Amino acid sequence: MFKSSHLGNLYLYSLGRYALDVIFSLINVTKGQSILLPRLICREVVDCIKEFGAQPVYYDVTRRNLMPEISESNYSSAKAVILVNYFGFPQDLSQYSTYKNNSSVVLIEDNAHGYLSRDVRGEYLGARADYGIFSPRKTLTIPNGAMLYIRQKDRVNLPRQPECTPAILTYKQSLKKLLRKRNSWGNLVLGGILLTKRLLWMFRFPKNNSGSGLSPLRIPINPWSGLKETLENLDEEGESSRRRALYIHFEQELVGIGYEKVFEKLPTFCVPYGFPFYSDDSQIGPAAAIARKQGLGVMKWPDLPDSPEGELPLYYRQLYLINFQV
């Protein structure tokens, strides 16, 4: 996608949450305004909204296909609506375009999970709404890298492109890259690391709810200096085929032993982040073992905000992903 005609409308950052911050500045989000977003979301997105003093207003998504359940009245009173292409699977934006004709709401396509993915008409996800965010750092092993897409540049103040700065892979990223060169020793060590990580996660210290709840931004906004070149030189077709083939493989294997997949089918042109499925924490072992055979790991998503409003549907807490990042 980086090679396409969209290029002039893209700005580079280190993390997707910065791209969201920039959108909120450009559209003048102010204290008390409401931002509509799914309750199935990671804390970083909610933190961005709170940083601006705005009010997150949540909608739910369905168990099958993670489709938004938004009422038109909610929609039209919001300053902006965030729609998420979960795991690179396209949301159908058509109904929102219809609502939009009757209001000044800003539509933001959160495509942090879906770099390279397109909808069935062949349109790149993240470039279909007023603004889009991307986080290719999630799917490619790079030190950092995210993007902001602005659909109609002539109508808004434009952001300043932050200077690119050198960065290196963290030790964790380098280790993973090394170990994922597939051989049985590598897989064994990687399995040990993932298991330790999982145990640490299970016994992590209780979260401190007394503060603002905002997670610290640990790295500066500046994108990695190698980002543009890496994206320009990426074998997009090869990477897309690799991900689609892995999805089909894991779909067969996991559904075959009784796991429930999240999406009914893999749409044409969809380039998945990984294979999403539901599992109880206690039942994750066989899936993790199958992923390990391909040198891949299993992760739980999302890291939900500390105090989401109301009772969350149970399946929000049972969502797992075989991560195809290598």
Ligand X SMILES: Cc1ncc(COP(=O)(O)O)c(C=O)c1O
Chain residues that interact with ligand X, rule: CB under 6 A: 15-17, 42, 44-45, 84, 110, 112-113, 135, 137, 146, 302
CB of 87 to ligand X, least distance (A): 9
- Could you tell me the two tokens for 162? 């932050």
Pick the closest to residue 306 from 55, 42, 77 (CA basis).
Answer: 42
Contact 270, 262 (CB under 8 A): no
* Residue among 125 and 290 whose Cβ is closer to ligand X: 125
> Closest CB to ligand X belongs to which residue?
16
* Residue among 146 and 290 whose Cβ is closer to ligand X: 146
Residue type, 50: K
Query: Would you call 124 helix, strand, or coil by DSSP?
Result: strand
* Residue among 128 and 137 whose Cβ is closer to ligand X: 137
Could you give the count of Cα atoms lying within 13 Å of 144 in the half-sphere of its Cβ?
23
| CA–CA dist 236, 7 (Å, integer) | 15
Cα→Cα distances 136→29, 219, 234, Å:
26, 16, 11
Residue type, 254: L
CB of 17 to ligand X, least distance (A): 4
- How many CB atoms within 10 Å of residue 253? 18
| CA–CA dist 54, 77 (Å, integer) | 13
Q: Is the peptide bond before 206 cis (omega within 30 degrees of 0)?
A: no
CB of 317 to ligand X, least distance (A): 16
Q: Which residue has the tokens 């549907």?
A: 313
CB of 45 to ligand X, least distance (A): 5
* Residue among 15 and 262 whose Cβ is closer to ligand X: 15
Q: Is beta strand 106-111 parallel, antiparallel or unpaired with respect to 80-84?
A: parallel
CB of 227 to ligand X, least distance (A): 12
* Residue among 137 and 180 whose Cβ is closer to ligand X: 137
* Residue among 155 and 204 whose Cβ is closer to ligand X: 204
* Residue among 186 and 226 whose Cβ is closer to ligand X: 226
- Could you tell me the two tokens for 125? 């996800």
- How many CB atoms within 10 Å of residue 34? 17
CB of 72 to ligand X, least distance (A): 24
CB of 160 to ligand X, least distance (A): 19
Taking the chain, what is the end-to-end CA distance rounded to the nearest angstrom?
A: 20
